[in-house]
Amino acid sequence: MDFPITDLMSDKASTEWILEHFHPDGLRCPHCNAAWADASEFRRTRQSQLIVYRCKGCHGIYNLYSGTIFEARHLPPPEVVLLVRGVLKGESAATLARELGRSKTTITPLRHLIQANAAPLQTDTPLNDQVVEADELFQNAGEKRRRPLRPARPAALPGE
């Protein structure tokens, strides 16, 4: 028996999980790197119901999945969370497709991308036992984007 599990999951909680794991340094404009706070809500995508933001700096648009392997895949947040969970648990594309009510054609390439991103992060220990840079799992390798280096912070500010 398959449960209609995506219907039971909260869109809001799933969005928060994705935000935390895909964008640990905060969502930013992929075009000019401006902060999410400097964007306005522009519209919602039809299928995945994601908010599309318009950057006030460069007027570029982006959403929660921009720069990740889920970009332009039209999956609502609860499905993305379940897909990631299933792939990391080693479930087959057939099982995942059935659970999510999607075709194997939709699921298989995403499963491969997550696995390909996970491979270099894996050593001898199972993935879920390691502290990995989780966001690297979801980075769109085709974009060859490097995260900006964090500015070096002095150990203590003067006067502290």
- CA atoms of 19 and 146, how far apart (whole Å): 18
- Least distance between Zn ion and beta carbon 9 (Å): 31
Q: Which CB atom, from 58 or from 134, has the smaller least distance to Zn ion?
A: 58
- Least distance between Zn ion and beta carbon 62 (Å): 8
Q: Which CB atom, from 31 or from 73, has the smaller least distance to Zn ion?
A: 31
What is the chain's Cα-based Rg?
17
At what angle are helices 77-88 and 104-118 packed, to 10 degrees?
Answer: 60
Cβ-based burial of 38 (10 A; exposed 0-12, middle 13-18, buried ≥19): middle
- Least distance between Zn ion and beta carbon 57 (Å): 4
Q: Which CB atom, from 57 or from 101, has the smaller least distance to Zn ion?
A: 57
User: Can you give the binding site for Zn ion, defined by CB under 5 A?
Assistant: 29, 31-32, 34, 55, 57-58, 60
